[in-house]
Every structure is written in C-alpha cells, then in structure tokens.
Homo-oligomer: A and B are copies of this chain.
Amino acid sequence: MSAKAFVTRRMTFSAGHRLHNDALSAEENRLLYGKCSNPNGHGHNFTVEVTVAGDIDPRTGMVFNLRDLKKVMTEVVEDGLDHKNLNLDVPAFKGVIPTAENIAVVLWGLLAGRLPPGALHEVRLVETENNFVSYRGG
C-alpha cells in the first residue's frame, strides 16, 4: 500500500515591512497601500505553514522527517527573516514588494531549492489573525 499524505510544519517570525512601489507616485502608493505604506514601516508576527506532500515510507511511517523540514525552515525562516526588516535587510526582497502574496512566493523559492524535487506542496503565510495567503507554486 502506498499512501499519500500531506505534512505541515508551522513556524513564526517577527519582521518589519513597508508596502511601497517606487515606480508609482506617493498618491498612488497611498491609494493602493493606505497605512501599509507608512515611510517608517510597521511589522507583524508572521506565521508560515510549509506543507510537503508524498507517499508515507513504510519503513519510517513518515512522508518526510519533520526534523529535516524544521532544519530547512529554521535556515530560511528564522535565520533569514526573523527580527529583520524585509525591505532593507533581506536580499531576496530586493525589487520585490513584500506583500503577503510575495512573501509566500519568495519563501516558496527559498524552500523549494532545499527540499527534494516535487516535495513542496504549499506555503501558507498568516500575516494577521484576519489575513492569510497560500501559494502552491505556479
């Protein structure tokens, strides 16, 4: 029997960001992003949920060892983003407006390269208790 399951690991990080498109006027930015374009930025406790999909290995009873997933996520999420300013401190956001959508896409890119091909199924980003985004690559 091969059984396909989805395994998710959750991690949080606290970061600052500012939503602003330099190619637009101040007024356009204000209309588009409202108080999210505050020049000095603001921040969130972001939650990331990374889902890996695959068959359960009968020898281990696992799709993917959660310790390994934790190690990858610690490197990408905790070391890479936690207690940083996404716009100013994180190279992966150079030229990318750090909306929740784009954070999910950037995380997908950083995680996919560190996981077995095809393993990554979904990146879910919770920005506040009222806003979430998910991205499945493509």
Contact = CB atoms under 8 A, between A and B. Distances in A.
A14 B32 contact: no
26 contacts: A3-B105, A4-B135, A5-B104, A5-B133, A7-B100, A10-B130, A11-B130, A14-B43, A14-B128, A16-B16, A16-B41, A21-B60, A21-B61, A24-B59, A32-B60, A35-B83, A38-B89, A41-B43, A42-B43, A42-B84, A43-B44, A56-B101, A56-B105, A61-B97, A61-B101, A66-B131
A3 to B, nearest CB: 5
Interface string A87-127: 01100000011111110110000000000000000000000
Instruction: Count identical subunits in the complex.
Output: 6
Given A7-B101, A61-B101, A16 B40 contact: yes
Contacts of A62: 99, 101
Nearest to A73: B130
A32 B60 CA distance: 8
Nearest to A4: B138
Contacts of A21: 59-61
A41 B19 CA distance: 15
A76 interface: no
